[in-house]
Amino acid sequence: MNIKKSGFNTKLIHAGNIHDQFGSAIVPIYQTSTFSFESSEEGAKCFAGESDGYIYTRIGNPTINALERQIAALENGFGAIAVSSGMAAATTIYLSLLSTGDHIVSTDAIYGPARGVMEKQFIRFGFQSTYINTTNIETIEKAIRRNTKVIYIETPANPTMEITDLKAVAEIASKHGCLLVVDNTFCSPYLQNPLDLGADIVFHSMTKFINGHADVVAGIIITKDKTVYSQLRTMMIHLGCNMDPHQAFLVLRGLKTLSVRIDRAQENALKIAEFLEKHPKVAWLKYPGLKSHPQYKLGKQQMKGNGSMISFGLKTGFEGAKKLMNNVHLALLAVSLGGIETLIQHPASMTHAKVSKDDKQKAGITDDLIRFSVGIEDAKDIIEDLKQGLEKV
Ligand code: LCS
């Protein structure tokens, strides 16, 4: 059977599998740091790239490679590089694609540290960055400079839920000779495939939907072509931000149920978004599944589902948000997202706390914004929890 031609769910169950001497149904954990060679000649061939035998786990490992093959298949990419976290994916990409004096244009409302590392750390290496609202395509084109090498998009954006038109940005990137990088964490490969829309590189914090069980921190980068793949893999090996085999095993296990988890979570999310939007204490709400979302139509075109992330604000602002967060019991007051459990958090004081007040304001990360990651519990219980919490506001 040609797994590349099979459906998404079949790929989820079978794409990464290996055929070992025991007929293992599931990819085992090859918990070894190094691999022995049959002979010195064979060892030399492995190092010369003339044999694909394993050498050392930082460079490659059967459990990790199984996960890489599987995610590359799900994103329709040439290959994938598993790394220790989503931030390791972002920094490996920055360090691989940028040299001193190069410039990047990026979505302003991205995961806080992915912006912070550029503006506060990599500025020392001469990397330049401009953060803008990428929902406005003209703004992107205006921000491009002679030295712009990369356009970096997060859609839907964390935490504003704004959606950027990937096809339109891909056209601009290609016109200006830039590489398009997309952080696809909020969708997972089940809901959005940026490489099919023209992106060059996609990455995920697998800590979120892909693993989905709030027990692993991990990341992965997928590329459309071989040259960029080799460049990124070499950087990962040199930085040493490889994944661990046990981590890969857990992600492989979580991944198998990606579609059933997301189907359930987004079914819940729609009910919760409808409940919140009608609630008299709610001032505004952004959820891609509701017509009130400013890019509702675009979301329907480029995403295969609405996802399970909601952002909203109360009429009582930050004071009300604090009261709600302190009075929900089922939803955990915690950062992270995309897991089986419902989470609530306050981006302005938590995930995006280090973004300056001014930049937060410009990016729409307002003080009243509450981010809600809907889990797979019963929707009625999550709604009941919110209802009683809102009564205390
Ligand atoms: N990209 C996005 C969109 C994220 O939401 C995160 C983490 C990362 C990259 C970084 O991934 P990590 O290194 O944590 O695996 N987002 C978090 C959040 O919103 N709350 O806690 C972590």
- Cα-Cα-Cα-Cα dihedral of 6, 265, 85, 311, to 10°? 130
Q: What is the pLDDT of residue 3?
A: 81
Ramachandran class of 214: left when φ > 0, alpha when ψ lies in -120 to 50, beta otherwise? left
Would you say 86 and 235 are in contact if contact means Cβ atoms under 8 Å apart? no
Residues 6+ apart with CB under 8 A from 10: 3
CA 285 vs CA 13, 208, 268: distances in Å: 36, 22, 16
Catalytic annotation on 111?
Answer: yes
Tell me, in angstroms, the distance from the centre of ligand 1 to residue 111's CA: 6
Nearest residue by C-alpha to atom 12 in ligand 1: 86
Q: Is the dihedral of CA 93, 364, 312, 306 positive or negative?
A: negative
Stretches in the chain below the pLDDT threshold 70: none
Nearest residue by C-alpha to atom 19 in ligand 1: 336
Tell me, in angstroms, the distance from the centre of ligand 1 to residue 19's CA: 34
From 183, 244, 368, 385, the catalytic residue: 183
Catalytic annotation on 58?
Answer: yes
What are the backbone angles phi and psi of residue 123, rounded to the nearest 5°?
-60, -30
- Please tell me the distance from the alpha carbon of residue 129 to that of residue 149, in angstroms, as a whole number: 10
- Please tell me the distance from the alpha carbon of residue 274 to that of residue 279, in angstroms, as a whole number: 9
Q: Give ligand 1 pocket residues (Cβ under 6 A).
A: 85-87, 111, 114, 154, 158, 183, 185-186, 205, 207, 217, 219, 335-337, 351
Q: What is the pLDDT of residue 2?
A: 82
What are the backbone angles phi and psi of residue 114, rounded to the nearest 5°?
-70, -25
From 54, 111, 190, 229, the catalytic residue: 111
Nearest residue by C-alpha to atom 20 in ligand 1: 336
In tens, the pLDDT along 290-308 reads: 999 999 999 999 999 999 9
Tell me, in angstroms, the distance from the centre of ligand 1 to residue 353's CA: 14
Q: What is the pLDDT of residue 5?
A: 86
**Residues belonging to the chain:** 393
Beta bridge partners of 183: 154, 203
Would you say 203 and 187 are in contact if contact means Cβ atoms under 8 Å apart? no
Catalytic annotation on 233?
Answer: no
Nearest residue by C-alpha to atom 11 in ligand 1: 86
Q: What is the pTM of this model?
A: 0.97
Q: Residue 95: exposed, middle, or buried by beta-carbon count in 10 A (0-12, 13-18, 19+)? A: middle
Tell me, in angstroms, the distance from the centre of ligand 1 to residue 133's CA: 19
Q: What is the pLDDT of residue 265?
A: 98
- Please tell me the distance from the alpha carbon of residue 190 to that of residue 184, in angstroms, as a whole number: 10
To test the pocket of ligand 1, the residue of 117, 185, 213 to mutate (highest count of ligand atoms within 8 Å of its CB) is 185
The angle at the Cα of 372, spanning 371 to 375, to the nearest 5 degrees, equals: 155
Catalytic annotation on 385?
Answer: no
Tell me, in angstroms, the distance from the centre of ligand 1 to residue 354's CA: 14
Domains and CATH numbers, the chain: 8-255 (3.40.640.10), 258-391 (3.90.1150.10)
Tell me, in angstroms, the distance from the centre of ligand 1 to residue 100's CA: 26
Ligand 1 atom at minimal distance to the Cα of residue 110: 3
Neighbours of 32 (CB within 10 A): 14
Q: Which is it for strands 282-286 and 343-345: parallel, antiparallel or unpaired?
A: unpaired
Q: What is the pLDDT of residue 68?
A: 98
Q: Number of H helices and number of E strands within the chain?
A: 15, 12
